[in-house]
Chains A and B, each alone.
Chain A
């Protein structure tokens, strides 16, 4: 290796896979260049990356200058500039820009497509990828400025793929695998994700907002893409009617014919399946009972926690009247602490062309674009101006589902015009009936 890296080498000594080993492996591949690739950025980029990281560990400070004006023509996102402040010692990483590539919906790839992506990135970048970033994109780490337009051309013309979102843009929408593989999916996550991605191309590629904005789509409340914890607007599948019960299959679980959780916890012996202990007693709303060999659910009390369905998927199925709930304001803890999404729309059918959903999205955006402070996420604006304001701006009537629990978030107040006679009163008239 070009640079000695004793501090980084320690990271290889633990029991876990190490990114240091991965970088050394890629450095070796590039140095040998068995495939005879005409590398378009310095061949020793990985070695210089290890070198500058070692120096940062030694100094206890970063040697990166983050951010920049780099990008592709017409786009205000997808490329994040990065430069190092030691370009003479580490010329391979003097420019080390990140490229965000939109991931296919549901992260469906063919291996041939993955190879194409890797070939392009080996030729025109460092070969280092992050599959996937926390927003879901394919992240390519490290290339030089002249390569950016070239990569963009090949990506869009030959690989039929687009750049992802970054900066104060709509971020690359991300969804779960949905109805393609999962019987719990209450709506076609991929269709909604793809439709909104296409419809909001302008917001995705050009800065439109006070800060980042994320859409995420989960087909059911299992929330496999964790939309409720991370997306400014999350779309979580749900159903309006009853959980479908197949009593014969319930007996199959109770009698030990089927393993619970489809065998997911089969690593050790948990003993005989106990429906009372493992399902009924764990129901968060206590809306289930199992008596005389029959399972009953009081569906009006069910909060769609999914536990019973996850444990006994052959016996219990999602309802037939399906749609989604919209939650708003989730975020990671950068400024005001982490927040989970708040329920804004309890149930809406997810049917093309999704006009009802788009109406909510655009009303939320109009409010946030107008009122949001610089670098203020939607969740922080909701906290600052109140959930009631959000309801007003989206023309959504307050309803019991908006209240998390009585007396804990009483954000809904009467307004004067909603009260007969207003808030003023004739004190003399009042005193006729009420002594001081």
Chain B
């Protein structure tokens, strides 16, 4: 599958999720079951660089979500 189509699937899947706004990297593998995990990882990291997604880190674990979704910048006094 080409990258743009995959990006669209990822964004649509995340927009369709109710309740949770941040996900483990492994959850993204499930959105693209035919792709190799390493390729999905690279795409997700690229999407963060492009400002579509963003990281949330507890220090020990990293979660990834749509930029600005959920309890984000405002709640953390970042805006």
Contacts and interface: CB of A to CB of B under 8 A. Distances in A.
Given A206-B45, A207-B45, A369-B41, A166 B59 contact: yes
Contact of A76 (B24, B38, B57, B59): B57
B25 A168 contact: yes
B49 interface: yes
- With most chain A CB atoms within 10 A of its CB, the pick from B37, B56, B57, B60 is B57
B2 interface: no
A296 B77 CA distance: 70
Contact of A207 (B37, B55, B59): B55
Contact of A81 (B26, B38, B76): B76
Contact of A69 (B38, B59, B72): B72
Given A167-B55, A206-B45, A69 B62 contact: no
Contacts of B25: 168, 207-210
B32 interface: no
Nearest to B60: A212
- With most chain B CB atoms within 10 A of its CB, the pick from A70, A74, A372 is A70
A67 B62 CA distance: 9
Contacts of A68: 56-57, 76
A375 B61 contact: yes
Interface string A240-260: 000000000000000000000
Interface string B48-74: 110000111111111010000000110
A145 B57 contact: no
Q: Please tell me the size bucket of the interface on B.
A: 20 to 34
B64 A369 contact: no
Interface string B18-54: 0000001110000000000110010001001100001
A121 interface: no
Contact of A369 (B37, B45, B78): B37
Interface in A334-388: 366, 369-370, 372-375
A94 interface: yes
B58 A69 contact: no
A83 B76 contact: yes
A374 B77 CA distance: 29
Contact of A98 (B59, B62, B72): B59
A169 interface: yes
A366 B40 CA distance: 13
11 contacts: A69-B56, A69-B76, A73-B49, A167-B55, A168-B24, A169-B62, A206-B45, A207-B64, A211-B60, A211-B61, A369-B38
Given A67-B56, A207-B25, A210-B26, 14 more contacts: A67-B59, A69-B55, A76-B45, A76-B55, A80-B59, A168-B24, A168-B62, A206-B48, A207-B41, A208-B25, A208-B45, A210-B24, A372-B26, A375-B24
Interface of B: 24-26, 37-38, 41, 45, 48-49, 54-62, 64, 72-73, 76-78
Interface of A: 66-71, 73-74, 76-77, 79-81, 83, 87, 94-95, 98, 145, 166-169, 202, 206-212, 366, 369-370, 372-375
Q: 5 tightest A-B contacts by CB? A: A167-B62, A67-B58, A80-B59, A207-B62, A167-B57
